[in-house]
Amino acid sequence: MSKYDIIIIGSGPGGYVTGIRASQLGFKVAIVEKESLGGICLNWGCIPTKALLKSAQVYDYLKHVDDYGLKAEAIDKDFNAVIKRSRGVAEGMSKGVQFLMKKNKIDILKGFGKIKTGKKVDVTAEDGTVTEYSASNIIIATGARSRELPNLPQDGKKVIGYRQAMSLPKQPKKMIVVGSGAIGVEFAHFYNSMGTEVTIVEFMPNVVPVEDADISKAFANSLKKSGIKVMTNSSVESVDTSGSGVVATVKTKKGEETLEADIVLSAVGIKSNIENIGLEDVGIVVDRDKILVNDFYQTNIPGYYAIGDVVPGQALAHVASAEGITCVEKLAGLHTEAIDYGNVPGCTYASPEIASVGLTEAKAKEAGYDIKVGKFPFSASGKATAAGTKEGFVKVIFDAKYGEWLGCHMIGAGVTDMIAEAVLGRKLETTGHEVLKTIHPHPTMSEAVMEAVADAYDEVIHL
């Protein structure tokens, strides 16, 4: 029986990053993985979806090439080639993780991992062979999968989750997307750009409901402008897949409505992968589909840890990575701070992009802050105007008393790359005046951050 310092179950952005950092700190590490290295994020999530969205962006540019004083003829798309490119990108990233595992001398234990008492892990290979391993510490990083609603069971063909949506053999003519979170609207944008007729059904009053109200309103207008039908305050009550397509019964405020489509994409959230991995056998406490941990990811049983989508907190790749690093640095005896979950950026990669961190305006008011709010539209940005990407704005929220940066919300081209300024600023406890007096390069999209701050303090120049 092989003995390790740390065994990690799952090789997603939580697991493999944790393994690398642990190896750097001198631990002998093994990672258990039943599928491809990189987990859902690299193979069926974050990375391949961005490849699809890039193809959609290029196609949109080509369709509007006249706007840039250029000419192009016979513009078309090859749906299968777009899917193939996305899969190729994912495979390349997975191979990159393989290289990193070898570089950092991390053993890969191929199979399904199940924890046991006594800090042991059984790994079941594809042929059914079971091998037992032991470690001083075991870290659970098994991630999550598409959540299924009782009235919307997924058959993988007509009612699908995000995984099938990335590799459909044929482009659907009509698609219903249930849920308008990041996954839902990203796929809605991609398929709409490719020419599919898309309808979004959202239970909440607003699309992208976790975002600031101004962002949600602007994004809803953008969806409708692009030809996507949006149904809020609505829910899919049932689906009939007996025919050639899907007939969905949708409950709205005005009554029931029937929608017909080729495919329904269920994007109503995720379900933690915590079944059959031995939690009950070991006695690890679970609450509402999440493994309970302390600030440094130890479960109630010493020597067993959990990170990523299986623990409370934002189910995001960068959060899982940060949690894993925090966990093993604490194990190594380093001075480690607990993660501030109030300063985690969220990004949606549709068009326009959405990025946010901190409190929304409504949440800041609910918390009792006296606030200063500033907004700057990209229509007033020289860089955005030159690039032809004038849609969107930056919105900032500050505590009027002390100048604390409470929140930052962006919608527009490239904002997922811009949000890091706000995250870093908040981490360093930057005040509004410090941001305002920090010289931003011209012409850039990032100037909009400075200008939004200036607007909050009645010093805006270009508006």
Q: Is residue 396 within a helix (H) or strand (E), and if so which, with residue range?
A: strand 392-399
Residue of 64, 433, 442, 462 marked catalytic: 442
- Check whether 113 is labelled as a binding-site residue: yes
- Check whether 382 is labelled as a binding-site residue: no
How far apart (Å, rounded) are the C-alpha atoms in residues 325 and 322?
A: 5
How far apart (Å, rounded) are the C-alpha atoms in residues 282 and 312?
A: 20
Helix (H, G, I), strand (E, B) or coil at 188: helix
- Check whether 397 is labelled as a binding-site residue: no
Half-sphere exposure of 287 (CA within 13 A, CB side): 6
- The distance between the two most distant Cα atoms of the chain, rounded to a whole number of Å, is 69
In terms of phi and psi (left: phi > 0; alpha: psi -120 to 50; beta: otherwise), the region of 269 is left
- Check whether 69 is labelled as a binding-site residue: no
Q: Is residue 424 within a helix (H) or strand (E), and if so which, with residue range?
A: helix 420-427
The residue written with tokens 């689906």 in the block is: 239
- Check whether 278 is labelled as a binding-site residue: no
- Check whether 182 is labelled as a binding-site residue: yes
Structure tokens at 418: 């811009």
String of DSSP letters for 286-308? EETTEE---TT-B-SSTTEEE-G
- Check whether 179 is labelled as a binding-site residue: yes
Q: Is residue 262 within a helix (H) or strand (E), and if so which, with residue range?
A: none
* Residue-wise burial string across 321-345, b where 16 or more C-beta atoms lie within 10 A, e elsewhere: bbbbbbbbbbbeeeebeebeeeebb
- Check whether 39 is labelled as a binding-site residue: no
Structure tokens at 54: 């890039």
Of 99, 96, 123, 95, residue with least CA distance to 109: 123
**Orientation of helix 15-24 relative to helix 317-331, angle to 10°:** 30
- Sign (positive/negative) of CA torsion 23, 345, 229, 83? negative
442 is catalytic: yes
- Check whether 88 is labelled as a binding-site residue: no
Helix (H, G, I), strand (E, B) or coil at 373: strand
Active-site amino acid positions:
442
Q: Which residues fall in the annotated binding site?
A: 50, 113, 179-186, 202, 269, 309
Q: Which residues fall in the annotated binding site for NAD(+)?
A: 179-186, 202, 269
Q: Which residues fall in the annotated binding site for FAD?
A: 50, 113, 309
